[in-house]
C-alpha cells in the first residue's frame, strides 16, 4: 500500500474521533455531510471493505440531510441518536463500550489497571488531556484525538534526543508505541462489537472505516521506523 500523507492521516483521525466521541447532533451531521467519502477518503481504495464503508457513509449522510431538510421527518435522525446512545452510552453497559479497560482487565470496569497504565504513559511523556467531558483517557474516541494531535505535529519539530527514545510525545516511535501497547490490544474487539450491534448504516460504516485506518496507520508507522533504523545503520 502507498504511504498516506501525514496531513491526510491527521484529518482522518480527527474525523473518526468526532464520529466516536460526539453524539450525532446538528454540527456533527453537517460536518459529515460535507465529506464525499467515496471520492475523498484517502483509504477508500485500500480494500473492498473500505470502499463499501465509504459508500455506506455517503448514503447514510444523504438520508440524514434529507431528513433534516424535512422537519416533519425526524425518524432517521432519532434512529441515529438512539443508535449512538445504545452503542456508546447505555443505559447500563453499552453494546459497544468504547473504553479500553472493559476489554483489557478481568474486572471489566472503568478506570482499571490498563487505564492507569495509559495515564502513566501520557504523564511520562508530558502529555495532559483537556476534555470537556469527564471520560476515562482510554476512550477510543479520545485516543483518536491524541493520534490526530500527534500527526498534526511535524516530526522535525519534535525535540528527539535519541532516535530510540520512544517516550518523546508525538514522535513517530511514540505514536507507534501508543498504538502497539495501548490502543490496538482492544480496538479490534471494540470495533467488532460496533459492527455487530449497530442498527444504522452510519455506525455500521464507522466500524470498517476505523479498523482500516488504525491498521493502515500502524503498518505505515512500523514500516517507517524499520526504514529509519536501517538508514541510521548505514
pLDDT digits (tens, 9 = 90+) for 161-204: 334 445 567 888 999 999 999 999 999 999 999 999 999 999 99
Q: What's the confidence (pLDDT) of residue 164? A: 42
Spatial contact of 144 and 6, defined as CB atoms under 8 Å apart: no
In the prediction, which pLDDT does 161 show? 38
- Coil, helix or strand for 5? coil
Q: What is the pLDDT of residues 206-220, one digit of tens each?
A: 999 999 999 999 999
| Coil/strand/helix, residue 130 | coil
Residue 1 has pLDDT above 80, yes or no: no
- Between residues 87 and 233, the one the model is more confident about: 87
**Angstrom distance (rounded) from CA 190 to CA 197:** 11
Radius of gyration of the chain (CA): 18
C-alpha–C-alpha distance, residues 126 and 110, integer Å: 23
Which pLDDT score is estimated for 233?
Answer: 56
139 has which bridge partners? 99
Q: Residue 70 carries which DSSP code?
A: S
Q: Which residues pair with 99 in a beta bridge?
A: 139
Report residue 16 CA to chain centroid gap: 5
The model's pTM is 0.92
The more confidently predicted of residues 92 and 233 is 92
Residue 72 is classified by DSSP as: T
**Residue found by looking up cell 497504565 in the block:** 117
pLDDT at 67: 74
106-139 per-position pLDDT tens digit: 999 999 999 999 999 999 888 888 767 889 999 9
Residues in the chain, overall count: 234
DSSP 155-176: GGGS--SSTT-TTSTTSHHHHH
Which three-class secondary structure string do you get for the chain?
CCCCCHHHHHHHHHHHHHHHHCCCCHHHHHHHHCCCHHHHCCCCCCCHHHHHHHHHHHHHHHHHHHHHHCCCCCHHHHHHHHHHHHHHCCCCCCCCCCECHHHHCCCCCCCCHHHHHHHHHHHHCCCCCCCCCCCCCCEHHHHHHHHHHHHHCCHHHCCCCCCCCCCCCCCHHHHHHHHHHHHCCCHHHHHHHHHHHCCCHHHHHHHHHHHHHHHHHHHHHHHHHHHHHHHHCC
Each residue of 49-90: pLDDT tens digit?
A: 999 999 999 999 888 877 777 655 578 889 999 999 999 999
Most distant pair of Cα atoms in the chain: their distance: 67
Asked whether the predicted pLDDT for residue 38 surpasses 80, the reply is yes
Amino acid at each position: 500500500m502507498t504511504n498516506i500523507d501525514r496531513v491526510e492521516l491527521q484529518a482522518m483521525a480527527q474525523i473518526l474521533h468526532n464520529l466516536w466521541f460526539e453524539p450525532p447532533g446538528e454540527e456533527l451531521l453537517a460536518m459529515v455531510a460535507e465529506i464525499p467519502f467515496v471520492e475523498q477518503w484517502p483509504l477508500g481504495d485500500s480494500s473492498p471493505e473500505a470502499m463499501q464503508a465509504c459508500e455506506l457513509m455517503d448514503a447514510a449522510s444523504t438520508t440524514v440531510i434529507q431528513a433534516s431538510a424535512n422537519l416533519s421527518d425526524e425518524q432517521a435522525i432519532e434512529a441515529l441518536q438512539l443508535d449512538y446512545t445504545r452503542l456508546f452510552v447505555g443505559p447500563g453497559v453499552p453494546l459497544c463500550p468504547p473504553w479500553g479497560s472493559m476489554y483489557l482487565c478481568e474486572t471489566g470496569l472503568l478506570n482499571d489497571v490498563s487505564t492507569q497504565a495509559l495515564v502513566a504513559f501520557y504523564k511520562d511523556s508530558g502529555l495532559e488531556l483537556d476534555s470537556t467531558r469527564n471520560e476515562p483517557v482510554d476512550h477510543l474516541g479520545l485516543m483518536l484525538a491524541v493520534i490526530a494531535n500527534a500527526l498534526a505535529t511535524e516530526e522535525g519539530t519534535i525535540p528527539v534526543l535519541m532516535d530510540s527514545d520512544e517516550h518523546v510525545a508525538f514522535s513517530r516511535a511514540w505514536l507507534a508505541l501508543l498504538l502497539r501497547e495501548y490502543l490496538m490490544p482492544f480496538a479490534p474487539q471494540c470495533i467488532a462489537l460496533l459492527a455487530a450491534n449497530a442498527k444504522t448504516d452510519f455506525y455500521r460504516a464507522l466500524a470498517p472505516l476505523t479498523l482500516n485506518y488504525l491498521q493502515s496507520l500502524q503498518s505505515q508507522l512500523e514500516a517507517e521506523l524499520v526504514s529509519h533504523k536501517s538508514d541510521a545503520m548505514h
